[in-house]
Structure 1
Amino acid sequence: MSELDERVLSPKEIREKKILATRQNSHEKNTCLREQEASLKCMHDSGYDRDACSKYFQNYRNCRDFWNHVIKDRRRNGIKPYLPPVSERPALRKQYKDFMPWLPD
């Protein structure tokens, strides 16, 4: 066994592994997977210093807020599936750009 295999994982590392092992680890189900992975990578790289990763966390929250808004709108308008397929997402980002100026291009 290598040293990495023998190393005891911290509780934060265990949570991180559980998150990555869930079904939410696909772009089809998790619209903010890229932002989630970036924040987890930042935490790992910074030695789990939350202050150093605050921009990544805010970006993830913005992403979740955006897609929750889209899902609510689709549900309200009777559009199914509520979570849009990956192929429709770029068009929705452009459509909602005026309402959410923080949204990147």
Structure 2
Amino acid sequence: MAAPMASSSTHDEKTDLEQKRGPSAFTADHSVNSACLVESKISLDCIARHNYADNNKCEPEFQNYRNCKKFWNKVQWRRFWKGQRPTLPLPEDREQVKKDNADILEKIIGQSPKIELGPETGKPFTFIYKDPDR
């Protein structure tokens, strides 16, 4: 049986693209492309904390992630129709965009189920309903 041949063409192609586009051609900066990266990580950490067995215990984290995705999707559509580019704001501009689009956030939070924050989470939710009287 013949030994498999090592292919260096993939490495050469990668090197050529790095030279054309720069060293970050193959590394994604997820903070730029995903406004809900923190919420996603909180959800995944919850699932791991419960040994991937009972996802019902992570419902507050899931709802937080869903609220985040809904909010940024609506913001992107609003910015698209206004002709603003990029439609997803850069990470450094997102806090200001949250303040500017408070009407969207209030509507999403008002429509989402009222879920209590679990004490084991340890991280504040940014897109979940919080009753100010509690």
User: SS in structure 2 opposite 1:53?
Assistant: helix
Distance in 1 between residues matched to 2:48 and 2:100, nearest whole Å: 35
Q: How does 1:1-105 map to 2 (within 5 A)?
A: 23=28, 26-48=30-52, 49-101=54-106, 102=109, 103=127
Q: Tell me the TM-score normalized by structure 2.
A: 0.56
Distance in 2 between residues matched to 1:40 and 1:100, nearest whole Å: 23
User: Which amino acid is the alignment partner of residue 60 of structure 1?
Assistant: Y
Give the aligned length: 82
Q: Unmatched 5+ residue regions in structure 2? A: 1-26, 110-126, 129-134
Aligned to 2:11: none
Which deviates more, 56-65 or 84-93?
84-93
% identical equivalent positions: 35
Higher relative contact order (CA 8 A, sep 6+): 2
Please report how far the alpha carbon of residue 63 of structure 1 lies from its aligned counterpart in structure 2 after TM superposition: 0.1
Q: Tell me the TM-score normalized by structure 1.
A: 0.71
Between structure 1 and structure 2, the one with the greater Rg is 2
User: SS in structure 1 opposite 2:30?
Assistant: coil
Supply the RMSD in Å over aligned alpha carbons: 1.8
Aligned to 2:17: none
Please report how far the alpha carbon of residue 26 of structure 1 lies from its aligned counterpart in structure 2 after TM superposition: 2.0
